[in-house]
Homo-oligomer: A and B are copies of this chain.
């Protein structure tokens, strides 16, 4: 029985909780996997700790309507660090908000968890992109797992695909559509909409924020490129090493011109190895209509791995979503479970 503590209980944390609740029997039967959530701590939604485990349905109900701190019979008022250190959980699920400049406060949570010898699974891009090397070294020194599938393409196999299914390949390049919002906008511009109208629609559908810079200026894709560079390519690529251009300069004329040439604009994140040198970029790129990435429309994401043995392997799937991102945490938990058996 795995004991989990969740740091953060927003959309993603709730997504995982819902999956664990609904799949409880199936996971036990199919994988011999059992877990209980012993603690949750969220800055806005309150906190609850119960050594024998919290009822997930009750948690989800409280998170939606009141405060987790109202959980009957649970201890409350625990901040993230106390929850990590004192809840008795052996795995910390860190899904608090992300900050790509400092990584905080999540980086402190990551450190506290690993220092205390706890497995860490997360979807939190900021600290993973900024401090991957330090964190993975710390995890190795404590003999615990640090897994973060959901930081790139939500639960669509990306990091696990490279690690488990393409093991033995040298990965020479990874390129792809790593941001659904910008792909949604570009796809709609191909259908004749202006950038402004396409952005507005993305905002209305909840794909884009009111201040859309993280997406349209390429910051979100950049974080993913850095994570792929460091974790898959083993390269020392920092945020400032990535050549970044967003999609705000792409006009409907550019889109039309590309169409006429049998091409399509996509915001492509790319990491390339050339001998010992690794370079990374995020930029609007005209790609040929026959490229598997060209067929990826709307908010869908995709990655192409260029390898020495398998040539090009492309994966296409969701890049966001409550359940899809929640699933990334489940698959990481299942992998930890497999390794412990």
Chain B CB within 8 A of A210 CB: no
How many whole Å from A67's CB to the nearest CB in chain B?
A: 28
In the bound complex, residues from chain B placing their C-beta under 8 Å from that of A167 are 31, 331, 334-335
**Secondary structure dominating the interface of A:** mixed
Contact yes or no, B31 A331, CB < 8 A: no
Contact yes or no, A310 B168, CB < 8 A: no
How many whole Å from A4's CB to the nearest CB in chain B?
A: 15
How many whole Å from A19's CB to the nearest CB in chain B?
A: 6
Contact yes or no, A310 B327, CB < 8 A: yes
Interface locus among A52-60, A236-244, A290-298: A290-298
B-contact bits for A313-330, CB 8 A (1 contact / 0 none)? 111111001011011001
A331→B166 CA distance, assembly (Å): 7
Segment 157-175 of A: residues with Cβ below 8 Å from B: 157, 160-161, 164-170
| Contact for A310 among B155, B160, B313, CB less than 8 A | B155
Chain B CB within 8 A of A143 CB: no
Chain B CB within 8 A of A1 CB: no
Indicate whether A316 sits within 8 Å of B317 (C-beta atoms), given known contacts A164-B165, A309-B327.
no
Chain B CB within 8 A of A23 CB: yes
Q: Specify the chain B residue showing the minimal Cβ separation from A317.
A: B313
B-contact bits for A117-134, CB 8 A (1 contact / 0 none)? 000000000000000000
Chain B CB within 8 A of A311 CB: yes
Q: Specify the chain B residue showing the minimal Cβ separation from A159.
A: B165
How many whole Å from A197's CB to the nearest CB in chain B?
A: 21
Contact yes or no, B313 A314, CB < 8 A: no
8 A-B interface contacts by CB (under 8 A): A31-B168, A155-B309, A167-B331, A168-B327, A168-B330, A169-B327, A290-B297, A292-B296
